[in-house]
Amino acid sequence: AQSVTQPDIHITVSEGASLELRCNYSYGATPYLFWYVQSPGQGLQLLLKYFSGDTLVQGIKGFEAEFKRSQSSFNLRKPSVHWSDAAEYFCAVGTSSNTGKLIFGQGTTLQVKP
């Protein structure tokens, strides 16, 4: 069965600093990978996704993520964090583009210091 691990429960960065949120997955075949962001009291918004092709994917709000098969990782990055990026971030893995299940990690809460 597939699973997702986000090792960091809480991260604090200064505004303007770079950010990297870690995500490791477990799945025997080619995974389909997603990053979502959730602001307090809101639903989940898709930041970016990887299905195939270029392993570096660009998303909304200046985020990017890199799929590294050898490390079973899909880390999220942003070169310069803004105060509005403070939220909870979820990595998720799906098993196929044509079937359903999307399994989420436990989430990483990002705090941004002024």
Partner 1 sequence: DAGVIQSPRHEVTEMGQEVTLRCKPISGHDYLFWYRQTMMRGLELLIYFNNNVPIDDSGMPEDRFSAKMPNASFSTLKIQPSEPRDSAVYFCASRRTGPYGYTFGSGTRLTVV
Q: Is 49 in the site for partner 1 (CB under 8 A)?
A: yes
Contact set for partner 1, span 25-44 (CB under 8 A)? 32, 34, 36, 42-44
Q: Is 46 in the site for partner 1 (CB under 8 A)?
A: yes
CB 38 to partner 1: min, Å: 9
CB of 50 or CB of 112, closer to partner 1: 50
CB 39 to partner 1: min, Å: 11
Q: Is 51 in the site for partner 1 (CB under 8 A)?
A: yes
93 phi and psi, to 5 degrees? -125, 135
H or E segment to which residue 102 belongs: strand 102-104
DSSP assignment letter at 95 = S
Q: Is 55 in the site for partner 1 (CB under 8 A)?
A: no
CB-count burial class (<10 Å; 0-12, 13-18, 19+) for 88: middle
Task: Show the tokens assigned to 32.
Answer: 């389909």
Considering only CA atoms, give the Rg of the chain.
13
What is the binding site for partner 1 (CB under 8 A)? 32, 34, 36, 42-46, 49, 51-52, 90, 97-98, 100-107
